[in-house]
A and B are shown apart, each in its own frame.
Chain A
Amino acid sequence: MSPHRLSPRRRRPWRLAAVTALLVLLTTATGCGRSSGADPGRVRIGFLASLSGTYQAVGTDMRDGFQLYLDIHGGKFGSRIVDLVVADEGDGGPTAVPAATKLIKSDRVVALAGLVGGGSVAGVVPLLAENKTPLVASNGRPELKDPSWVWTTSFMSVEPGVAIAQYVKDHVDGPVYAIGPDYQGGWDELRGFTDAYTRAGGKLANPDGKTTFTPFPQTSNFLPYFTQVRNSGAKAVYCFYAGRAAVDFVKQYRQSDIKDLPLYGAFLTEGSVLDAQGAAAEGIWNVLNYSPDLDNAANRTFVAAWKARHDRTPTTFAMAAYDAAAVLDRAIAAIDGKVTPQAINDAIGRLGQIDSPRGGWQFNAKTHAPVQKWYLRQVRPDGRALSNVVVQDLATLGG
């Protein structure tokens, strides 16, 4: 077969193509905000989340969760009217830092909340210290040397894996294959599991005894990894994936040789990905600090108010942002006199138990992250749709 000669004149087009391949990786996003006049009866709060880019779904959930708290509390924190300035975090530090700088320096907010990415939090930390402004972070939480100005309402990335490790050890008869995405969040999530699991006497099925990391975010085909899982003789799989990767992973899992191996995960089926996964997700075990079916008064209020406004179930992202608003509300209410960033930061440190849709929790005085309970959930049919149903409590971590 003779090739069709299509381009005899252009001899080095591959060079251009190679250069432009790099161009494709570059995208930009900019933050925006608005300003209004100062007033003692008002308080100006900055909210940052990914409203564009890879984490748009998570960022939107967080913004809606924060806004929901404001809506059902008359738009006030501690009897002061809130001027909320929302800005776009984009995909991470490079876009989050300029947006946070603008909120602090030109909008002069007294506190920041939100932030999806751990990298964004790490990038913003020096800015917080320099301007003595508190951040109530509701998702990403990197290891921090000095968390003086950072309060995290979600969890430390290693905790889901730590919480479920003993359960997996007790219920799986044989080695477990550990797999996750190749970036900071994936390393932390998987390290939490593998450390606790091997400490409990478990053995990893991975060929070299180390977690398999898949390139992130470009991995969309997991079948080759499943071949390796099968050849390793694993009796179960533990993974952490979110977003598109979680959808691809679960759908392909059920169409592969290892479809009957029990699948345990962190996040894996949380949020809108569950709809896209469909029937393939049924039976997956996963660990999280929240579930919409938790039976407590705060959760009933939260879920009912959420469902009145949105046609999707609330996620842990929305819940943590809702709690970030609750933290700011209670801290500002406790302030006697002028509401300054320093006063808010001090007040948060004295909050004690917080009544939350996830159940009661409090800040660890050292890490500034929650001491909270973790739940084992399984994807089961709930009415016409599938949902994550709480099976049992796992452990209380963070203390």
Chain B
Amino acid sequence: MGVVDAYLIPVVDGVAYGLLLFVVAAGLTVAFSVGGVLNLAHGSLYALGAYSAAALSDGTWTGLAVAVAVGALTGAAGGGMLAAAVAPLAGRGHLAQALLTFGVALVAADLLATLFGPDELPVVVPSELGTTATIAGHRYPAYRLAFIAIAVLLAGVGWLVLGRTKVGARVRAAVDDPQMLACLGVSPQVVQAGVLAAAGGLAGVVGVLGAPIIGPGPGMANVVLLLSLVVVVLGGLGSVSRVLAAALAVGQIQTLGIALAAGWAPFLLFAAMAVALVARPPRAVGSPA
């Protein structure tokens, strides 16, 4: 009981943090598996959303709603532009794409720093969310509890769209059998571009909502991208549910793990990554490409 009481907050926080990583990494993994693009500018799309939050969210619910809308639109526009930019590179492999999108990320980081200045910007949320909640006698930021609910909602909507709708069926068809999809009169290229734009929009929305947790400032795009890549590496790019499991695990490693063994903090995450890579089932390695 004492142990549960002492470590309750890190466990809850691990869920909040893990879900944040999941909704960010989900966009990255879907863009890769469907759009075929390893998007190293994914963190910049999150940054667009986070800066929208800093600029537009003024403590009112309207302000937050406007920020979410702007984050979604700029993120989707950014995703669309990336799709257009990498289109000429089709067939040249992922390294060319990685270099291009990494370059875009550098340019975007510089533009954002020029536009918004070199400082970390404060993000104001409606006062109902900005308070402190109490969980079993412990203080915890209320915003993070709300974020858990919103992230679950986002994940649920994503799951329904991909798994239960016609649009989702086309997206999955674009992965499984693009030729057959084309025979049905649907262009796989259009589907792929649409997926990149949607993933960008999602990243933008998550950027707005995640800004009070990982806030806007120089270097933030890299932090977000690095953590998403770790999640994707741990979960494998194949399945959304494994990415979810990996994100939650990373969340717990980053919170409960640190609360238990702070001295190991620098190594915990990458040690877990190394173990996951070594222990990965051989079928994923040996099968023909």
- A309-360: which have CB < 8 Å to B? none
Query: Is B69 on the interface with A (CB-CB < 8 A)?
Result: no
Partner of B258 from the list A7, A53, A208, A225 (CB cut-off 8 Å) is: A225
CB neighbors of B among A206-243 (8 A): 208, 212, 214-215, 217-221, 223-225, 227-228, 231, 243
- In the complex, chain B residues whose CB is within 8 Å of the CB of A25: 222, 226
CB < 8 Å: which of B13, B121, B132 contacts A224? B13
Q: Is the CB of B32 within 8 A of A13?
A: yes
B259/A225 in contact, CB under 8 A: yes
Does B266 sit within 8 A of A, measured CB to CB? Answer: yes
Knowing A215-B266, A255-B132, the reply to whether A23 touches B102 (Cβ < 8 A) is: yes
A20 within 8 A of B: yes
Rounded to whole Å, the gap between the CB of B36 and the closest CB of chain A is: 9
Given contacts A4-B163, A6-B237, A212-B263, contact A24 B113 (CB under 8 A): no
Given known contacts A12-B285, A24-B102, A223-B13, is B259 in contact with A18 (CB within 8 Å)?
Answer: no
> A247 and B262: CB pair below 8 A?
no
CB <8 Å contact, B10 and A224: yes
Interface residues in B102-159 (C-beta closer than 8 Å to A) = 102, 106, 110, 113, 118-122, 132, 138-141
A223 CA / B138 CA spacing, docked (Å) = 12
Q: Is A293 an interface residue (CB 8 A)?
A: no
Q: By the criterion CB–CB under 8 Å, are B33 and A6 in contact?
A: yes
- What are the residues of chain B within 8 A of A16 when measuring CB–CB? 38, 94-95, 98
Residues of chain B lying within 8 A (CB to CB) of residue A384: none
Which residue from B9, B139, B175, B284 sits with its C-beta under 8 Å from A259? B139
Give the contacts of A1-17 with B (CB-CB under 8 A): 1, 3-14, 16-17
Query: Closest B-chain residue to A57, C-beta based?
Result: B118
Kindly report which residue of chain A lies nearest to residue B142, judged by CB atoms.
A255
Min CB distance, A49 to chain B, in Å?
12
**Nearest A residue to B237, CB-CB:** A13
Residue in A20, A56, A215 with the greatest tally of chain B CB atoms within 10 Å:
A20
Residues in A neighbouring B162, C-beta threshold 8 A: 4
Question: Is A224 touching B258 in the complex (CB atoms < 8 A)?
Answer: yes
| Minimum C-beta distance from A283 to chain B (A) | 16
Chain A residues touching B, range? 35 or more
Whole-angstrom distance between the alpha carbons of A4 and B215 in the complex?
31
A277 to B120, CA, bound (A): 10
Binds B, one of A153-161, A162-170, A192-200, A268-276: A268-276
Q: Which of B70-78, B84-92, B185-193, B239-247 contacts A (4 or more CB under 8 A)?
A: B239-247
B287, A6: Cβ atoms closer than 8 Å: no
Q: A6-B175, A212-B263 are in contact. Are A24 and B33 (CB under 8 A)?
A: no
Residues A243 and B120 in contact, CB atoms below 8 Å apart? yes
- If A6-B30, A217-B219 touch, does A14 touch B139 (CB 8 Å cutoff)? no
Q: Return chain A residues, CB-CB under 8 Å to B238.
A: 3, 5-8
Of the candidates B17, B106, B262, B263, the one having the most CB atoms from chain A within 10 angstroms of its own CB is: B262
Whether B98 lies near A20 (C-beta < 8 A) is yes
Partner of A24, one of B94, B222, B289: B222
Q: Are B118 and A220 in contact (CB under 8 A)?
A: no
Given A1-B241, A3-B239, A231-B6, also A17-B229 (CB < 8 A): yes
Residues of chain B with a CB closer than 8 A to A12's CB? 284-285, 289
Residue of A at shortest CB range from B176? Answer: A8
In the complex, the answer to whether B121 meets A276 with C-beta atoms within 8 Å is yes
Point out the residues of chain B lying under 8 angstroms from A223, CB to CB: 9-10, 13, 140, 255
- B284 to chain A: which residues have CB within 8 Å? 11-12
B63 in the interface, Cβ–Cβ < 8 Å?
no
Among residues of A, the one whose C-beta sits closest to the C-beta of B239 is A3
Say if the beta carbon of A54 comes within 8 Å of chain B.
yes
Alpha-carbon separation in the docked complex, A273 to B118 (Å): 11
Q: Is the CB of B229 within 8 A of A24?
A: yes
Asked whether B237 lies within 8 Å of A227 as measured between CB atoms, the reply is no
* A46 to B288 Cα, complex, angstroms: 59
Residues on B close to A: CB < 8 A? Answer: 6-7, 9-10, 13, 17, 29-30, 32-34, 38, 40, 43, 94-95, 98, 102, 106, 110, 113, 118-122, 132, 138-141, 162-163, 172, 175-176, 213-215, 217-220, 222-223, 225-226, 229-230, 232-233, 236-242, 254-259, 262-263, 265-266, 273, 277, 280, 284-285, 287-289
Query: What are 25 A-B interface contacts by the 8 Å CB criterion?
Result: A3-B241, A6-B29, A6-B238, A7-B237, A13-B94, A14-B236, A14-B237, A16-B95, A18-B277, A23-B40, A23-B98, A24-B43, A24-B229, A52-B113, A54-B218, A214-B262, A223-B140, A224-B10, A224-B254, A227-B259, A228-B262, A256-B140, A259-B132, A275-B119, A278-B122
Taking Cβ atoms with an 8 Å cutoff, the residues of A that contact B are 1, 3-14, 16-18, 20-21, 23-25, 27, 52-54, 56-57, 60, 182, 208, 212, 214-215, 217-221, 223-225, 227-228, 231, 243-244, 247-248, 252, 254-257, 259, 272-273, 275-278
Q: A5-B239, A6-B240 are in contact. List 9 more A-B contacts (CB 8 A).
A: A6-B238, A14-B233, A17-B237, A23-B98, A27-B106, A182-B266, A225-B259, A257-B139, A272-B119
The 7 A-B residue pairs with the shortest CB-CB distance, nearest first, are A3-B239, A56-B118, A6-B33, A7-B33, A224-B258, A224-B259, A255-B141
